[in-house]
Amino acid sequence: MTDAETRVLAHIDGRRAASVEEIRLAIRQPSVSRTGEGVAAMAASVRDALTALGADARLVPGDRFPIVEGTLVVDPALPTLLFYDLYDVQPAAGQQGWSVPPFAADMVTDAQGRERLVGRGAFNSKGPLIGTLATLRAFTEAGVALPCNFRFLIEGEEEVGSPGLPAYISANRAALAACDAAFIPYFGTNGRGETIIRLGFKGLVLVEFRVAGGDWGGPARGDIHAANGALVDSPSWHLVRALASLVDAQDRLVVDGLSDIVPPPASADLALIETAAQRFDAVAHRADLGVTRLKDLGSARALLSELMLTCTLNIDALQAGRIEEGEGAATLIPRTARALTDLRVVPGVAPEAVLGLIRAHLDRRGFQHVEVLLRSAYPASRATLDEPVVAALIDACSVHAPDVRVLPIHAGAAPMHWFSDVIGIPYAFGGVGHGAGSHGPDEYILVDDVVPFMKSMASFFYRFAQRRQAASGKTGPRC
Amino acid sequence: MTDAETRVLAHIDGRRAASVEEIRLAIRQPSVSRTGEGVAAMAASVRDALTALGADARLVPGDRFPIVEGTLVVDPALPTLLFYDLYDVQPAAGQQGWSVPPFAADMVTDAQGRERLVGRGAFNSKGPLIGTLATLRAFTEAGVALPCNFRFLIEGEEEVGSPGLPAYISANRAALAACDAAFIPYFGTNGRGETIIRLGFKGLVLVEFRVAGGDWGGPARGDIHAANGALVDSPSWHLVRALASLVDAQDRLVVDGLSDIVPPPASADLALIETAAQRFDAVAHRADLGVTRLKDLGSARALLSELMLTCTLNIDALQAGRIEEGEGAATLIPRTARALTDLRVVPGVAPEAVLGLIRAHLDRRGFQHVEVLLRSAYPASRATLDEPVVAALIDACSVHAPDVRVLPIHAGAAPMHWFSDVIGIPYAFGGVGHGAGSHGPDEYILVDDVVPFMKSMASFFYRFAQRRQAASGKTGPRC
């Protein structure tokens, strides 16, 4: 470790309180892309933070909310990292289970006596986003030069499917492709203290299944009296039966032909899963998730294979009719019934291919009138162990965390294919530090993990620069 | 026809405009028992109308909203009719398909050039309720004595399952049982000009199916990230699969053992269905319902048998997760999923028996964690052709309508078992006049049918008194 790195790490220790406070301030600024609440203010705040770092930063239009872009060039001879993150969050209003207000950034002591910073976005993704910006600030404050250049791409629409990203990437492809690698910071330490590096992400496809009465049958004009259910098709029953045909008794997607298009897993991935299965702690995993029982799928290997090697379909929302105040509903055949779902696809499986199979599967069973509406889609993506950016992140985490493990994929989706496939640069995802509760109530990060997280980022920057330069002997400007 | 009856019928012709206006005023007074809107005001208005008729009338407590009760004794020597009706209506707020405001009582000319009085409750049941009160008023205005006595039982909670009726009947059983018969007025003429008298009602059971994550599996504390769907049971999928197991490809209830507890249809009922099937006009029936296609069940006999001889389960509402503004939903496994349903049972099938079969059916398929919550229930009921009250109604309708037909049952439910089974008196249900759209948008009655409806009521009162007195030779007081 160089003297410069040592000085930066010491400075990160020294600014612990300031770093935590910076994250808390960001949580207190809601930025709910689903509703628009606070998004514009958060975008401005991130841009200002970049400007304060000395970056050339600005807001550029996304679909509905701006993308924060910027560059921070230390020395054109150094390699460049593309720092991707999101500044938007999922909604929390009306969500059951919060023990503190979701945008108060309260400190809560957990059962193990650890202090949690609780709030919407703490873990996904304001902790890592603001923690990484604080890391960059630590270099400036310590008077230490950054070991690489940065390009920033911080979007505010990730939680609604990144609708503005394609146009942005298309318009900036050359500049983005000139970066050496992308990275996405993450509090990657689980509840057992294992820091997990994942080599990819599943793809995410938002699909609405919708049945409305019409020429095929059912109420054609408006809801009709329930007594006619003996004679009139019910869109709700058709939706229920169509959905039920898509899964087995373990809720696994069993669409006709799907197994034929899922590539067989790579032996390297199976080996990573086998290693993970040997260490799998079901009790701790359940506690992390907030569940009493996992599905009864057999061995730990079976569970992890299911998680990492299969395409899944989750029901995000069901809606038909109206539940009134007082918890009753009018006795009607609702004209329309809907299910909002998210389909998660593994690498090598194109979203459109699965949608085509679902369409054919439903048609084959007489559900031609069940609409399958694509709301957004991006495919899975992969990184590999031998990329400098990946190896650097694993190295850096190993310096600051006792137990670093590698898994093939993250079942949580992120549009990393934009980097690996569209822009065509490798990426790495991870970092030291524990958090949990993404999208759910009482989302948190551990307060004591803010410093280790920042240290893992600082060390990652050094290792990336070293490995990248070693790999290419590169000295010229890229980004 | 007596001179007195002729004078009353002439007076009904003369007060056409006033009668229509009285119904419009009642529609303009919302009385939505689901939300409470306007219910108290409507109750007072009905009580005042009874008082103005010379009845001894008052409000007595129901479950949440009052019951209007009263007596109108003309001569203790005459038989007594128990007039049952409802003054509450289903909600209309937010319901798609209304072409006019639901509580404006607008006049709309239909495709056949007929004037419709459109509004929530026009058909179910303010048209018949207020039309019957207007009929009684016509006797007073014409200076003609009523041919029988009346007892009034007008509830304001029928559309939420009549929760206050059991206690009321229990407290007043002797007085109610002293009535000779009950009647429920109805605009019983369909779109083809056929006036239908139904000899019974299916029973209505409101059931909620509910799945919440807990010890059995699924999110135990709050919604969790959708990526975990591979490992964690989804209450929504379990609800969908459990519901789908209850019906066949025609949405028919196929609960294990159900067919064993449904009594075989009486030959008299099969004969009535056969007659109805020969006259069944599918085109007109579809138009009445507002559907383009009926279920593909085969013959008209099959359709009508399905409607009248089977138990059905309708989905009134489905709910899981939250569909946000912008029509998206957070990518979560919702902790809770619900279906609000109405189960309609035929005579001879106890609601509890079907619920028991559903419970066992779900348990047998591993759905022990799917809760089946009984919200309210009443059984089916039957009348018979040879009761004076039924024969009198058929007679009276035949005087004022060209085409009167008899069917075994109404698939729409009403708590008539309280009369036939609990109080133990016969009842009749019907009247001349066309209306449609019960519980749905653009509910209406034909304006020109208000007078024929009232005439059928007036003639019914005469014929009931004659037949009842002939049947019993009764002269003493009953009610």
- Which residues of chain B are within 8 Å of residue A364 when distances are taken between CB atoms? none
Q: Residue A247: is its pLDDT beyond 80?
A: yes
What does the pLDDT read at residue B473?
63
- A447: tokens are 């307060």
Yes or no, beta carbons of B319 and A318 under 8 Å apart? yes
The verdict on a CB contact (< 8 Å) between B440 and A216 is no
pLDDT digits (tens, 9 = 90+) for A299-326: 999 999 999 999 999 999 999 999 887 7
Q: How far is A222 from chain B (nearest CA, A)?
A: 5
In 3D space, the residue among A399, A409, A472 whose CA is nearest the CA of residue A431 turns out to be A399
The pLDDT mean for chain A works out to 94
Confidence of residue A473 (pLDDT cuts 50, 70, 90): low
Outline where DSSP puts E strands in A128-273. 149-155, 181-185, 195-198, 200-201, 203-212, 224-225
Which residues of A are less than 8 Å from B221 in CB distance? Answer: 97, 290, 441
Closest-CA residue to B288 (of B432, B190, B409): B190
CB-based contact A247 B237, cutoff 8 Å: yes
What Cα–Cα distance (Å) separates residue A62 from each residue in A124, A378, B40, B289, B401?
20, 17, 53, 47, 67
- Cβ of B326 and A160 within 8 Å? yes
How many angstroms separate the CA of residue B171 from the nearest CA in chain A? 27
Helices A16-28 and A3-14: angle between axes, nearest 10 degrees: 60
Yes or no, beta carbons of A317 and B325 under 8 Å apart: no
Of A236, A290, A366, the CB nearest to B219: A290
Residue B381 has what pLDDT? 93
Contact B222 A95 (CB under 8 A): yes
Query: How close does chain B come to A343, measured CA to CA in Å?
Result: 9
Q: Which residues of A touch B324 (CB under 8 A)?
A: 34-35, 91
pLDDT of residue B479: 47
Chain A residues whose CB is inside 8 A of the B247 CB are: 237, 241
From B4's Cα to the closest Cα of chain A, the distance in A is 40
Of A204, A223, A231, the CB nearest to B95: A223
| Alpha-carbon span A408 to A271, nearest angstrom | 9
Burial class (CB in 10 A: 0-12, 13-18, 19+), B213: buried
Using a CB-CB distance cutoff of 8 angstroms, which residues of chain A are in contact with residue B320?
315, 317-318
Nearest to B147, CA basis, from B472, B477, B471, B461:
B461
Shortest distance, CA A52 to any CA of chain B (angstroms): 33
Give the mean pLDDT of A259-276. 94
Kindly report, residue by residue over A138-186, the tens digit of the pLDDT. Answer: 999 999 999 999 999 999 999 988 889 999 999 999 999 999 999 999 9
Model pTM score:
0.82
| Best residue of A299, A316, A367 to probe chain B, by most B CBs closer than 10 Å | A316
Residues in chain B closer than 8 A to A338 (CB atoms): 323
Look at A291 and B213 and tell me if their CB atoms are within 8 Å: yes
Predicted pLDDT of residue B476: 45
Distance CA A408, CA A419 (A): 17
Q: Give the whole-angstrom CA distance, residue A254 versus residue A126.
A: 37
What is the nearest CA distance from A420 to chain B, expressed in angstroms? Answer: 21
Considering the four listed CATH numbers 3.30.830.10, 3.30.70.360, 3.40.50.300, 3.40.640.10, the one that applies to the domain covering B202-262+310-378 is 3.30.70.360
Among candidates B236, B291, B344 on the partner chain, residue whose Cβ is nearest the Cβ of A318? B236
- Contact by Cβ (8 Å): B127, B441: no
Instruction: Output the tens digit of pLDDT for each of chain B's 479 residues.
Output: 899 999 999 999 999 999 999 999 999 999 999 999 999 999 999 999 999 999 999 999 999 999 999 999 999 999 999 999 999 999 999 899 999 999 999 999 999 999 999 999 999 999 999 999 999 999 999 999 999 999 999 999 999 888 899 999 999 999 999 999 999 999 999 888 999 999 999 999 999 999 999 999 999 988 999 999 999 999 999 999 999 999 999 999 999 999 999 999 999 899 999 999 998 888 988 988 889 999 999 999 999 999 999 999 999 999 999 988 777 888 999 999 999 999 999 999 999 999 999 999 999 999 999 999 999 898 999 888 889 999 999 999 999 999 999 999 988 888 889 899 899 999 999 999 999 998 899 999 999 999 999 999 999 999 999 999 998 765 444 44
Q: Percentage of residues in chain A with pLDDT exceeding 90?
A: 86
Domain B3-199+383-472 sits in CATH at 3.40.630.10
Nearest CB partner across the interface for B317, out of A160, A290, A323: A323
- What backbone torsions phi and psi does residue B31 show, to the nearest 5 degrees? -150, 70
- pLDDT beyond 80 at A66: yes
Nearest to B316 among A221, A332, A441 (CB): A332
Q: How far is Cα A45 from Cα B140, in angstroms, rounded to an integer?
A: 78
Contact criterion met (CB < 8 Å) for B439 and A95: no
Whether A354 shows a pLDDT value over 80: the answer reads yes
Q: Tell me: the pLDDT tens digits for A96-108?
A: 999 999 999 999 9
Residues in Cβ contact with B316 at an 8 Å cutoff, skipping those fewer than 6 apart:
A226, A321, A329, A330, A331, A332, A334, B340, B341, B342
Q: Which residue of A has its CA nearest to B288?
A: A224
Q: What amino acid occupies position A442?
A: D
Domain locations in chain B as residue ranges: 3-199+383-472, 202-262+310-378
- The predicted structure's pLDDT at residue A478: 46
The secondary structure of A43-109, three-state, reads HHHHHHHHHHCCCEEEEECCCCCCEEEEEECCCCCCCEEEEEEECCECCCCCCCCCCCCCCCCEEEE
CB contact burial B264-298 (16+ within 10 A = b; e otherwise) = ebeeebbebbeebeeebeeeebbebbbbbbbbebe
Residue A229's pLDDT is: 94
Pair B295, A232: CB distance under 8 Å: yes
**What is the Cα–Cα distance from B159 to A232, expressed in whole angstroms?**
22
d(CA A296, CA A256): 23
CA B157 to chain A, closest CA, distance in angstroms equals 13
